Structure 1
């Protein structure tokens, strides 16, 4: 479960590198512990950001909704929910 939360947190943190969101979400990627993950993100109303993706080799999926400092969603079919300062910064960047 800790691994799932860390992967979800890494995906939320990866939002920081995004300058803006285009009309068609671009696929992003990050690597953690030798595994590569790809995801897309879309801005939603009220400053919420949706992040959806999967691990490249196993195709384990994750879907996260960033709302302020709270991240909720699923990773590999398991529910995840956590607070992160990175999510606050990322949501602000996505809103611009």
Structure 2
């Protein structure tokens, strides 16, 4: 199964644009010191479809919303089971992967 990693940089608030399944996707990713969690807002083709979606491990973060852009899954990377905390996501100890819809259905 093919996947693509979505890189989160070491900044508590960041915005970037990428193409997922042929659609323009604008992300705003934030770390909340109060909640101790990362979350994201997502616009697809200029329309806000998600706001404040928490990044949690092992869950397809897009599946419940049937957006037609595939799956987005956070997973620990390495031998240690870690949560996506302030340093784990930017350092790569937790990684964010996108799977194309055709790959998910296969």
TM-score by length of 1: 0.51
> Does the 8 Å CA contact 1:39/1:53 hold for their aligned counterparts?
yes
Q: 1:93 aligns with which of 89, 94, 97?
A: 89
Counterpart check, 1:39 vs 2:27: yes
> Does the 8 Å CA contact 1:49/1:94 hold for their aligned counterparts?
no
Give the corresponding residue for 1:7: none
Which structure: greater helix fraction?
Answer: 1
Count of aligned pairs: 75
Please report how far the alpha carbon of residue 67 of structure 1 lies from its aligned counterpart in structure 2 after TM superposition.
2.8
In structure 2, the CA distance between the partners of 1:32 and 1:70, relative to structure 1 (3 Å rule), is closer
Give the corresponding residue for 1:53: 42
CA RMSD of aligned residues (A): 3.7
Which structure: greater strand fraction?
Answer: 2
TM-score by length of 2: 0.47
Structure 2: where are the runs of 5+ without partners?
78-82, 93-106
Q: Counterparts in 2 of 1:11-90, with a 5 A limit? A: 14=6, 17-22=7-12, 25-45=13-33, 47-57=36-46, 59-63=47-51, 64-70=53-59, 75=65, 84=73, 86-88=74-76
In structure 2, the CA distance between the partners of 1:27 and 1:87, relative to structure 1 (3 Å rule), is same
